[in-house]
Structure 1
Amino acid sequence: MPPTLHPVFTYRAFISKPDTLALGATKGGAHRICVPVTDGFLRGTGKAAGIDFEIVQGGSDWPRADPGTRIIHLDSRFNARNTETGEVLYGYYPGITRPDPEMQKCLERSPEARTTEGREHYWVMTPTFEVSGEGMKWMEQTVFVAHGHWFVPGDGRQAVEYEVYKVVSG
């Protein structure tokens, strides 16, 4: 029986356009940028409702865009803290996305940029976590997959948002 996916939490990370650094073409010809993560959250759903972390500054996305394939290889890291328990979380998520017209509007900060839905893009990641609290150690021993989309609240900010699923063996 194939594995199934169970929704676990939503990860939303607001990004800083003014502090974004474009390195341009790097080894292999791919274009690298550095996009600082300013704030956001991880909020549990269903049986994982106890997951409630606030993202703290210090994380970034370091995607590499391959102009030959039009694929963006994600390389993102962030830190978060549970404001009630003080538990700390480190997240790393590699992934792949294929830019499309709606995504391009968000990347360019177009006034036409809008909140999108996961089904509108091919935007997949495989996050892993390290946690300080014993109650969350299961996150270090679990395989997760997620699909992403843009969150544009209309206040001039933008966020990447992922619906994260736990992979459960047949």
Structure 2
Amino acid sequence: MAPKLEKVLDFRGYIAVGGELLNEIPVKGGAHRMLVQAKGGFIRGVGPAAGFNADLKPFSADYILLDPTTGTAHLNVRIIAATPSGDTLYLHYPGILKMNEAVGKIIAASGDAKATDYGDTEWFTTPVIETSSKEFKWLESSVLVGQGHWHIDEQGTAAEYEVYRLVN
């Protein structure tokens, strides 16, 4: 029997775009490394993780390897967050983001960039969580998957994810 998905987290990370990005760094073989710094955001628990709330801290970033031959961004995200009660969270995940015109406009901070919906592009991650919270320690032993899309509001441009755990 196939596993089921149980939603556990909503995650939004506001990011640097356009001229705020660290210039692409060519890597032998044609791909480019790009550093996308997080500028704030949050992680909110839902379902069995309801009550878990953390805000992103400085030093969070995505170390993207962008392969122009396949139009694929290989994600390598490292997030540090803290709860109001002082618990810390370290979230890291690899993932795949297929580049398309809408994604290109977002990254370039184009004036006509628009938010996207889940499913507008192939964007999946496999988050791993470490936390000092005793109540939510079970997240460390869960297999998690996330799906992303772009969110734009008055605070800026954000990568937004719904994160699920695999359950029997």
TM-score (norm 2): 0.94
- Corresponding residue number in structure 2 for 1:71: 72
CA distance in 2, matches of 1:68, 1:88: 39
Deviates more, 1:13-22 or 1:103-112: 13-22
Q: How does 1:50-129 map to 2 (within 5 A)?
A: 50-83=51-84, 85-129=85-129
CA distance in 1, matches of 2:34, 2:110: 18
> 1:114: Cα distance to partner?
1.6
Q: How many residues align?
A: 167
Correspondence 1:157 to 2:168: no
The superposition leaves residues 50-80 of structure 1 with CA deviations (integer Å, 9 ceiling, x where unpaired) of 1111111111111011111111100010100
CA distance in 2, matches of 1:152, 1:32: 24
> 1:115: Cα distance to partner?
1.6
CA distance in 1, matches of 2:110, 2:22: 18
Q: How does 1:129-148 map to 2 (within 5 A)?
A: 129-148=129-148
For the residue of structure 1 that corresponds to 2:24, the secondary structure is strand
For the residue of structure 2 that corresponds to 1:105, the secondary structure is helix
> 1:16: Cα distance to partner?
2.1
Q: How does 1:7-26 map to 2 (within 5 A)?
A: 7-17=7-17, 18-26=19-27
For the residue of structure 2 that corresponds to 1:135, the secondary structure is coil
For the residue of structure 1 that corresponds to 2:96, the secondary structure is strand
For the residue of structure 2 that corresponds to 1:64, the secondary structure is strand
For the residue of structure 2 that corresponds to 1:40, the secondary structure is strand
- Corresponding residue number in structure 2 for 1:33: 34
Equivalent residue letter for 1:40: G
Kept in 1: contact 2:60–2:78 (CA 8 A): yes
Gapped runs of 5+ residues in structure 2? none
The superposition leaves residues 10-37 of structure 1 with CA deviations (integer Å, 9 ceiling, x where unpaired) of 1100112354212332133211110111
